[in-house]
Chain A
Amino acid sequence: MTLIGQRIPKLDAADKATGRSRYIQDLRLPGLLEARVLRSTVPHGRIVSVDVSRAREAPGVFAVLASQDIPPKRYGYAKDTTALKGDRVRRIGDEIAAVAAVDADAAAEALDLIRFEIEPLPAVFDPERTLDPGAPLVHEDRGSNLVRTHDYAHGRVEEGFARAAHVVEGTFRLPAQAHGCLGPAGAVAEWDARGRLTLHDPTQIPFLIQRDLADTLGIPPSDLRIIQPTIAGGFGARLDLYPHEIISALLARAAGRPVRLAMDREEDFATDPVRPRTVVRMRTAAAADGALLAREADVIVDCGAYVSWGAVTPIVMMHTMGSFYRVPHVKYRARTVYTNTAPTGAFRGFGNPEITFAIESQMDELAARIGIDPVEMRLRNANQPGEVTPQGSRITSCGMKECLEAVRERMPPPGTRPPGGRPLLRAAGENLVASATQTETESPSSPAICPAGRIEGTEPARSPLRRGIGVAAVFHVGGGARIYRSDGCGAMVKIDDFGKATVVVGATDIGQGMETVAAQMAAEELGVPLEAVRIAPADTDVRPWDVGVHASRTTFIAGNAVRAAAKDAKRQIEAARTALGLPPDTPYDKVVRSEHFRDQGSLVIGRAYFDPPNAMVDAENKGNVSAAYVFGAHAAEVEVDVETGQVRVLRVVAAHDVGRAINPMYVEGQIEGGVMQGIGYALLEEVILREGGMSNPNFLDYRMPGPQDMPSIETVIVETNDPSGPFGAKGIGEPPLVPVAAAIANAVANATGVRLRELPMTPERVWRALRAWADVEAPGEICGKE
């Protein structure tokens, strides 16, 4: 093997770095119109009237649509909405009407001419109150704001708690996290004269959208062609059918011209299918020796006003509940609920960061009660290779132990450090402040400057800085995830007259490097250099079926498909050599040309379809949804300023079992990016709602961490060579984000003695928690809201 495990730059790296990649905003077509959407400014109301007549007369306007102008086709997971709202608006931002005009300014001016009247109705925003008797109903016809209940159990949970030596209990509150993709959402629709629609769309699910969108438009799915431009960030945000995709198609049909509906930044934020607000009430029991006995959780997940992927996160949480660590007794209930807020969606980790925050916080609480080291506590309960969990997950390869040991070795807890090592955990008061020290050496006239949060106190004894270390582990699917009946992906490998290979694969490159990894695998299998392989364009007319880019499935599933297709092509080459009587070392180009230039010749096109050996869950929610599982562990070192509440992450060690790193550079990229998004989730990011609408829809007020907020990250790749993975590989897309918040919260608890159970741990929230703790004047742990 030569190409597997190599640090090969992405095929499109130079295009991206030099501005050549084309995003949806860059597309130019003759006659292209730009669209804008009129949105509700009230969270709940009855639409009394919408009058678009003046907008239709406005200069430069080609089409104006309100709900009466479009097919009243409901769509979505629960068929609970239409692209333009007819009788009701159910959240700030709901689509009321849309305009296509010569440019975005003309369209925006025309929106101002639309007259509409909405009679406000009472609204509900808090997922913890929305099931209260008398709460306003988001969908009156459903009679309740409950979308669905998910139940899961194994063992007898009460028995587990009864036998426990230690029980910890708490309520964890997780915020809505926005994706903040570099490129805002958008789509370009064009119809040809025969009524066939081409949609240029950076979607994560080209083949699923074909059916869903065609259905809302009333056309056969085969009359819909999806072309994906370069995707400028997804992370789950492009995993469903959204109103802007339907509206662009409808406007293009009405205008008889191609139409782009591209969101501006604020719109992208305000309509983002965020990670749902989630409340986890959890208790966990352990025996005196640290063995876990029972775990129980009651979860509420906010769906927003319409059901999208947010409503499915309880299924992922359920697998973590049932299979993460060896727990004999587990009980779980999750309720998904409507509120008058933006529909929630999929976000990297898909419920797992939420439930892992609770589980891993309680692992540390239990370790503290029992008096054992947090890593030891986890090792005692770790999943094992070959284990079948009570939930039905068949664990094949498993590097959980190796990951935990790797982070312990690199960030040992205080006291166990080898003598002479760098002191990692300094006691309070040991921190002499850098800036204050520098001051001494500067000339007297020069001022001492330091950004707040880094300092202070001239006497060491008064330093407000406390350091701590925290650990958290992760369990996640890594061999596909059977959420739909299909978890498959097709691939073809064509060898051309010049001996080059074109890989036609259904999977989507969302920036993670799928196309390069597919090329690496095909080149490896064919025994040709990487330069001899190219990837066919992302077009549903060309590429074969794939379920979509989600669930950390692409390297595993598409990789297996590409590898098998390449093998098939190679077999055909060999067969042709034999049939033609060519020597076994005849180069590919000569073999293929010989086929093409003879009577009754044939093509060399290898093909394969890979659908992994996993299963959908049964009626009891049990089953092996993934063909492989991945594990990881993170350790974080933080510094907390106890006077301001500011938490700084100084260092992260992140170890992940990836089966086999096909390209270690991308694995590191996934880990570093996951840590960054995890730090945002832990410390900074929160969609702040006012009347259910996002009040911080920009990068200044919705704070994602910047380069200066990032700690040093040490990545450790653990290779366990999964028997069913392509070259042994498993997934790595989502896992690196999952344990970050828990590791940081554990480090904050380690540093200060105060446990935060609510994210993000903003300075003010930490400050309040510290103050509440100081007020009770008793050592112990408290949390933000309880």
Chain B
Amino acid sequence: MRPFDYVEPRSVDEAVALLSRGGERTRLLAGGTDLIPRLRRRQWRIDRLIGLRRIDGLRDLTLEDGVLAIGAGVTLEELAASTTVSDVCPLLAEAARLMASPQVRALATIGGNLCHASPAADLAPPLLCLNATLRAIGPSGGRDIPIGEFFTGPGRSALRDGELLVQVRVPAVEGRGVYLKFSPRRAMDLAVVGVACFRSHGVATVAVGAAAPTPLRVPASPDEAAARCSPIDDLRASAEYRREMVRVLTRRALEIVP
């Protein structure tokens, strides 16, 4: 790794100021589990890292007015262990438990998972099903981005220059859900395909990961879901196989939450 500056702002405003002043070679550091490997591989050149861990409130996790408000700095481990999350949206807690390993989960954050914008991000399909809203703050103030509009391509999100994700807001809706993560290994693996399904008041919502350039909501029907996604061939699987797994897993998910 090349040498760089490291700063730890105490507030969101300070972070936004540092970020918008910094330009391209300034990056935010949350858990670092996506970022640090990239720096080590020298995929990115940076001059400055802004560490988020000392910012007040970024790790808060509260239930207020029927909305589960999850700070962007909440770790996967906290998501998995929190009784609030398990009570209000167990789907999300379960998805977190299926990710990475205990060591990685202790560092990795929900904000990092979403902002990294991997098509295979495991938290994305459940949050798409649950209609989450992402709260961002930038130089010109705050705004709420519906999660359906957040992912714009592999590694790309709707965040603008200088903007920071601060909170993930999940409406507490009654219903049942399931996340089927399909991977050759049972732990420490990325999804070949991930399918989340949430059924509330008889209506099922389905979202898929690793089956299109972005995590995606798809129709709640196995065949239509398979038709709607646009997977690629890569070293984990072929497009053909991924599409077929979307069909199989969507059917299973719909059966599990009847």
Contact = CB atoms under 8 A, between A and B. Distances in A.
Contacts of B177: 447, 449
Contacts of B235: 688, 695-696, 701
A135 to B, nearest CB: 25
Given A436-B256, A455-B252, A458-B258, A445 B188 contact: no
Nearest to A710: B186
A451 B180 contact: yes
Contacts of A435: 256
A705 interface: yes
B189 A703 contact: yes
Interface in A681-706: 683-684, 688, 695-696, 699-701, 703, 705-706
Nearest to A699: B188
Given A446-B90, A447-B94, A447-B176, A709 B252 contact: no
A448 interface: yes
A767 interface: yes
A762 B192 CA distance: 12
A445 B177 CA distance: 9
Contacts of A700: 188-190
A763 interface: yes
B233 to A, nearest CB: 11
Interface string A438-476: 010000111111111101111000000000000000000
A475 B241 CA distance: 38
B2 A706 contact: no
Interface string A260-278: 0000101000000000000
Given A447-B178, A448-B178, A449-B90, A706 B186 contact: yes
Contacts of A446: 90, 176
Interface stretch (B10-18, B56-64, B134-142, B242-250): B242-250
A436 B252 CA distance: 10
Interface in B136-189: 174-189
Contact of B244 (A439, A695, A709, A767): A767
Contacts of A109: 2
Chain A interface size band reads: 35 or more
B189 A644 contact: no
B176 A705 contact: no
B208 interface: no
A643 interface: yes
Nearest to A690: B235
A646 interface: yes
Nearest to B193: A452
Among A451, A453, A646, A705: residue with most chain B CB under 10 A: A451
A451 B255 contact: no
A456 B175 CA distance: 20
A673 to B, nearest CB: 18
Contacts of A458: 255-256, 258
Contacts of B90: 446-447, 449
Given A453-B182, A643-B248, A706-B188, A447 B255 contact: no
B257 A644 contact: no
B98 A445 contact: no
A770 to B, nearest CB: 11
Contacts of A764: 237-238, 241
B3 interface: yes
A452 B182 contact: yes
A18 interface: no
Nearest to A439: B256
Nearest to B182: A452
A450 B177 CA distance: 11
Contacts of B244: 767
B54 interface: no
B91 interface: yes
B25 interface: no
A450 B178 contact: yes
B38 interface: no
B255 A457 contact: yes
Interface residues of B, number: 44
Interface in B48-96: 90-91, 94
Contact of B184 (A439, A450, A703): A703
A456 B252 contact: yes
A105 B1 CA distance: 6
A727 B2 CA distance: 57
Given A450-B178, A456-B255, A706 B185 contact: yes
A458 B253 CA distance: 11
A708 interface: yes
Contacts of B42: 108
Interface in A82-141: 105, 108-109
A135 B189 CA distance: 38
A431 to B, nearest CB: 14
B236 interface: yes
Nearest to B40: A264
Contact of B2 (A105, A456, A695): A105
A230 to B, nearest CB: 23
A700 B100 CA distance: 9
Interface string A232-271: 0000000000000000000000000000000010100000
B91 A449 contact: yes
Interface in A656-686: 683-684
A448 B187 contact: no
A765 B170 CA distance: 39
Among B42, B174, B244, B258: residue with most chain A CB under 10 A: B244
A767 B241 contact: yes
A532 B91 CA distance: 59
A291 B182 CA distance: 44
Contacts of A452: 180-183, 195, 249, 252
Given A688-B235, A764-B238, A767-B244, A447 B257 contact: yes
Interface in B105-160: none
A651 to B, nearest CB: 16
A182 to B, nearest CB: 15
Nearest to B2: A105
A700 B244 CA distance: 23
Given A445-B174, A700-B188, A450 B2 contact: no
B176 A703 contact: no
B242 to A, nearest CB: 9
A639 to B, nearest CB: 13
Contacts of A703: 184-185, 189
Interface in A562-586: none
Interface string A263-297: 01010000000000000000000000000000000
Nearest to B249: A452
Contacts of A448: 176, 178, 256-257
Contacts of B241: 763-764, 767-768
A695 B190 CA distance: 16
B236 A449 contact: no
Given A643-B248, A703-B189, A449 B179 contact: yes
Interface string B189-204: 1101001001000000
B181 A451 contact: yes
A644 B245 contact: yes
Contacts of B41: 266
B91 A447 contact: yes
Ordered nearest first, which 8 A-B pairs have the shortest CB separation?
A: A452-B182, A449-B94, A708-B186, A447-B177, A452-B180, A456-B252, A447-B176, A764-B241
29 contacts: A105-B1, A435-B256, A439-B256, A444-B176, A445-B176, A446-B176, A447-B90, A447-B178, A447-B198, A449-B94, A449-B177, A450-B180, A451-B180, A451-B181, A452-B180, A452-B181, A452-B182, A453-B186, A458-B258, A643-B248, A683-B184, A703-B184, A703-B189, A705-B185, A706-B188, A708-B185, A762-B184, A764-B241, A767-B244
Given A449-B177, A643-B248, 10 more contacts: A445-B176, A446-B176, A447-B94, A447-B178, A450-B180, A452-B183, A452-B195, A695-B235, A699-B188, A767-B244
Interface of B: 1-3, 40-42, 90-91, 94, 98, 174-190, 192, 195, 198, 235-238, 241, 244-245, 248-249, 252, 255-258
